[in-house]
Amino acid sequence: MTRVVSCSHQQRGAALLIAMALMTLVATLAAGMIWQQYRAIQVEAAERSRTQSAWILSGALDWARLILREDARTGGPTALSEPWATPLAEARLSTFLALDKDNNVDAGPEAFLSGAIADLQARFNLRNVIDDGGKLVETDLASLQRLCEVAGVPSDTAQRIATGLAAARSGAAGAPLEPKTVDQLGWLGIDAASIERLRPYVELIPVRTTVNLNTADRDVIVAVSPGLDTGAAEALIQARQRHAFKTVDAARALLGKPDLLDPRRVGTQSNFFEVRGRLRLDDRTLEERSIVERRGLEMIPILRERVSSVAAAR
């Protein structure tokens, strides 16, 4: 009898252990399934946020293209007094959507959009230092050297950039890739600190361009105009604030020395612009940079890149 009771207790104990093991297994599997589902939801939410952000920033690019197209209709010079030069301050998207009665502005997440347009021809175009045949253009190389001195970068930087661009254009074996943006000057061996110092003065535009006298700063104007001193350049800047120069001859007349401004190197109109859009959506910030070429009334994006995508700290 004692043996029967002992066996019964042992069976119940074994059954309890099996039940506990099964419960542990089920709980583990359930936890794993819940975790996988949670991760799937997080991935889906991130993808949805990315898609929404890209869509909204496309709208910011369209806004810039519309402004530049309307500016082109005037047929006047490109100047900082025009609407395109006024940045779009950060604004809640629901402010715009509220004008549309068909939109439920309370349904989506809070999103804030800002942007700005910059004239790329206010800077020196590094593409100018080599001609279509890949040979160095000494006058433009001298301009770049002057800007390198202003920026405080190593004295051989201009020559290294010019040589690297010529080599990249040649396509020879072992040549570096041809950079498309200022950030990519690192491909030519230019260090990051020098790139940052040069950034306010130079740009990489795919074709030769002139420097716009109505938008360039003093140092850039002086760099591309041999014989022009800083005082004369400052006089140009003061004069354009009152009235934009319609032609290079108008700027020449102000200086009284026609030979100081070369119309092959300076102008009063621009066709290449940088568009920057910044979006805050929920806990993320997304920034994009686009380069737009204006051909008559047609606005053609030639580069679009994400500058940064940062999740806000919680």
Give the predicted TM-score (pTM) of the model.
0.79
pLDDT of residue 37: 73
**Amino acid at residue number 206:** P
Is 192 a residue whose pLDDT tops 80?
yes
Q: Do 238 and 287 lie in a common domain?
A: no
Q: Do 284 and 240 lie in a common domain?
A: no
From 63-67, 124-128, 196-200, 213-217, the region with the lowest mean pLDDT: 63-67
Q: Do 55 and 144 lie in a common domain?
A: no
Each residue's pLDDT tens digit, 266-278: 999 999 999 998 8
User: Span 197-225, mean pLDDT?
Assistant: 97
* Best CA proximity match to 58, nearest among 304, 309, 307, 310: 304
User: Span 233-249, mean pLDDT?
Assistant: 96
Q: Which two tokens stand for residue 149?
A: 């001195």
Mean pLDDT estimate for the chain: 85
Q: Do 149 and 168 lie in a common domain?
A: yes
Number of domain units in the chain: 2
Q: Do 19 and 97 lie in a common domain?
A: yes
pLDDT of residue 58: 75
Q: Do 187 and 240 lie in a common domain?
A: yes
User: CA–CA distance from 93 to each of 26, 51, 192, 306 (Å)?
Assistant: 47, 16, 36, 21
Q: Do 294 and 235 lie in a common domain?
A: no
User: Span 202-206, mean pLDDT?
Assistant: 96
CA torsion, ordered 167, 169, 172, 177, to nearest 10 deg: 80
pLDDT of residue 144: 98
Q: Do 89 and 13 lie in a common domain?
A: yes
Q: Do 77 and 179 lie in a common domain?
A: no
Provide the CATH number for the domain around residue 104.
3.30.1300.30
pLDDT of residue 148: 97
Q: Which two tokens stand for residue 101?
A: 């009665």
Q: Do 239 and 148 lie in a common domain?
A: yes
Domain assignment of residue 3, given as a range: 1-123+202-209+270-314
Q: Do 9 and 104 lie in a common domain?
A: yes
Q: Do 60 and 119 lie in a common domain?
A: yes
Each residue's pLDDT tens digit, 13-35: 777 777 787 788 777 877 777 87
Q: Are 145 and 126 within 8 A, CB to CB?
A: no
